[in-house]
Structure 1
Amino acid sequence: MSINTLEEAVALTKKFTSKPCNEELLKIYALYKQATEGDNEGERPGGFDFVAAAKYNAWLNQAGKSKEEATKQYIAFVNEISSKYL
């Protein structure tokens, strides 16, 4: 099964029967945010909110990537890992 749009990829991740590892989840999150919003312009989370900081940093690592390229990479990555989680 191959998906071709961002919407199909998002829908597929919701069908996963087990949870991807944290590294994969961060990559999914960062590519999705870059694809839908572009570069991370938000404030860095402070204090001890480690999850928010990890998500912020993952998205920040995608900076400069076009929405189109991030969309392609998101779809490709979801296709790649879907066999492990469906």
Structure 2
Amino acid sequence: MTLEEAVNLTKQFTQKPSNEELLKLYALYKQATEGDNLGERPGGFDFKAAAKYNAWIALKGKDKTVAESEYVALVANLATKYIS
């Protein structure tokens, strides 16, 4: 399965994954498509943006192709839970 196919598969989920799963999907996707997070950490009380930033920054140094395969594997695993 390609990255694009995995992204399309997530759109077929009949239930929303947990926040932890969503953050992992987000971080792996961003690392696979953009590489290391070079942006500044969101400030203030934007907790959602801060959580996304922290999830992505935790993958710093992970190779894009490794992140892509982990994303595809995670989507395949979640599909068994969230596609009925």
Q: Structure 1-normalised TM-score?
A: 0.95
Deviations 1:4-63 (A, max 9, x none): 100000000011011000000000000000000000000100000000000000000111
- Answering whether residue 24 of structure 2 is matched by residue 27 of structure 1, we say yes
Report matched runs for 1:1-86 at 5 Å: 4-86=1-83
- Percent of aligned pairs with the same amino acid: 69
One-letter amino acid matched to 1:26: L
In the alignment of these two chains, the number of paired residues is 83
Q: Distance in 1 between matches of 2:38 and 2:11?
A: 27
Give structure 1 stretches of 5+ with no counterpart.
none
Q: Structure 1 segments of 4 or more deviating over 3 A?
A: none
Q: Structure 2-normalised TM-score?
A: 0.97
One-letter amino acid matched to 2:17: P
Give structure 2 stretches of 5+ with no counterpart.
none
RMSD: 0.4
